[in-house]
Amino acid sequence: MNINSPLSILVVDDNPLNVRLLETTLAKEGYNIFKAYNGPDARESACTNNPDLILLDIQMPGENGFDVIKKLKNKGDTASIPVIFLTGVSEIDAKLEGFELGAVDYITKPFHPLEVSARVRLHLKLSIATNSLIRSQADKLKQISDAQTSMLTTPEKYPDARFGVQYMSLHEAGGDFYEVLPISNDIYGYFVADFSGHDISTSYLTSSVKGLLKQNCSPIYQPLESIKMINDVLVEILPPGKYLTACYARLNRKTRQMRVICAGHPPVCYVPVTGQARILEMEGDVIGIFKNVLFGQETLIVNPGDRFYMYTDGLIESTDKKIVWSEGADRMLAACQSAHDVPISKAPEKITQLLCPDLSKLEDDIVILAIEV
């Protein structure tokens, strides 16, 4: 709704005299009027002209007003247009049905011009206020999302870390995130996590976890010690029911040693230059609920060119298809193997294309972090 341009109203009634009366009344107020005399034409006009308000007759031959509003509310382009019913029916059941279907008000026939003008003004004001509130909230959420994204480490920041990443958030406050940490000249830490829930508090908690990683992931602590210390802090500060699954890998390129810690997270895919690609199966508790926790751990001796793929479950798990990440890990490993000849910076994008060619079908946020020794 653009209040700087003439507001538009769609008038729908099978009686041309009623349409003419409403058009005359409302045009004098400066509104742009669209007209329809039956249900199908009304729906077509609503889609084409996107009016700011619809005055809709209930009793029409064929497709009545109840049928029309049901179809309008089930279509994204027209669902938010406020509808005022025009009716000669005074029964309370009919009015209640209309409200349940999404009508905002009723005007009873025969019309009084002053009443029509007053009700139209009222509901246009309410619609403008509601849309303004929605835009304001959306802008604030967008700022949170942008701030969260801006905190993510890019491959350009740490080229010696030799990683590529694909990050997609379906929500304004994404629950998935990652971090890459320079621990020394030859040692880098790689962290991928998934918070339970996607509310606004998640974006602030993400900042807290990133701060804890920088404080506790250092050469003096072993990877397992780092994650346990982070867990101890999060147990104290996370709200009830909030936790995160995570995977932390620390690569020492000088000693060619990779240590991987699993905290209730999907398994890492390991694709060596020579030898068999495999899934690093490890059990582990989630982070942030229990003081006494056990995390999975595996240490590998690696070679230049070996790759590790850390990820969240959004790309391999499907509620609709009833696929959990434990079943989807094999598909992930196959996709990682297929992307082995792709530059590490492009490998996550390639894997995403293989697993989900149509990104509109994603059901959750995703992170894929690819690391090359």
Give the start-to-end residue ranges of the domains of the chain. Answer: 8-143, 153-372
Specify whether the CB–CB gap between 198 and 174 falls below 8 A: yes
Tens of pLDDT, residue by residue over 160-183, are 999 999 987 765 455 788 999 999
pLDDT of 203 above 90: no
Mean pLDDT of the chain: 85
At residue 141 the predicted structure's pLDDT band, cuts being 50, 70 and 90, is: very low
- Residue 337 burial (10 A CB sphere; 0-12, 13-18, 19+): middle
Give the lowest-confidence range in 143-147, 201-205, 356-360. 143-147
pLDDT of 317 above 80: no
Q: In what helix (H) or strand (E) does residue 151 lie, and over which residues does it extend? A: none
Which pLDDT does position 3 carry in this prediction?
A: 47
DSSP strand pairing (257-263 vs 296-301): antiparallel
Which pLDDT does position 268 carry in this prediction?
A: 95
At the fourth CATH level, the homologous superfamily of domain 8-143 is Response regulator (3.40.50.2300)
Which pLDDT does position 326 carry in this prediction?
A: 63
Tens of pLDDT, residue by residue over 48-91, are 999 999 999 998 998 999 999 999 988 878 888 999 998 876 66
| Mean per-residue pLDDT, 293-321 | 86
Q: What percent of the chain has pLDDT over 90?
A: 49
Which pLDDT does position 144 carry in this prediction?
A: 47
Tens of pLDDT, residue by residue over 234-279, are 888 888 888 999 999 999 999 999 999 999 999 999 999 998 999 9
Give me the half-sphere count of Cα atoms (radius 13 Å) on the Cβ side of residue 309. Answer: 35
At residue 97 the predicted structure's pLDDT band, cuts being 50, 70 and 90, is: confident
Q: Which CATH number is correct for 153-372, 3.40.50.1370, 3.40.50.10470, 3.60.40.10, 3.40.50.80?
A: 3.60.40.10
Domains 8-143 and 153-372 share a fold: no
Which pLDDT does position 246 carry in this prediction?
A: 94
At residue 197 the predicted structure's pLDDT band, cuts being 50, 70 and 90, is: low
Which pLDDT does position 120 carry in this prediction?
A: 92
Q: How far is CA 125 from the centre of its chain?
A: 30
- The Cβ of residue 93 has, within 10 Å, a number of other Cβ atoms equal to 8
Tens of pLDDT, residue by residue over 286-300, are 999 988 899 999 999
**pTM for this entry:** 0.61
Task: Give the list of residues 6+ apart from residue 298 with CB closer than 8 angstroms, or none.
Answer: 259, 260, 280, 282
Q: CB pairs under 8 A, 24+ apart, for 216-225? A: 217/181, 217/183, 217/189, 217/191, 217/248, 217/250, 218/183, 219/183, 219/184, 219/187, 222/259, 223/189, 223/248, 223/249, 223/250, 223/259, 223/260, 223/261, 223/297, 224/259, 224/261, 224/295, 224/297
Tens of pLDDT, residue by residue over 219-234, are 888 999 999 999 998 8
pLDDT of 308 above 50: yes
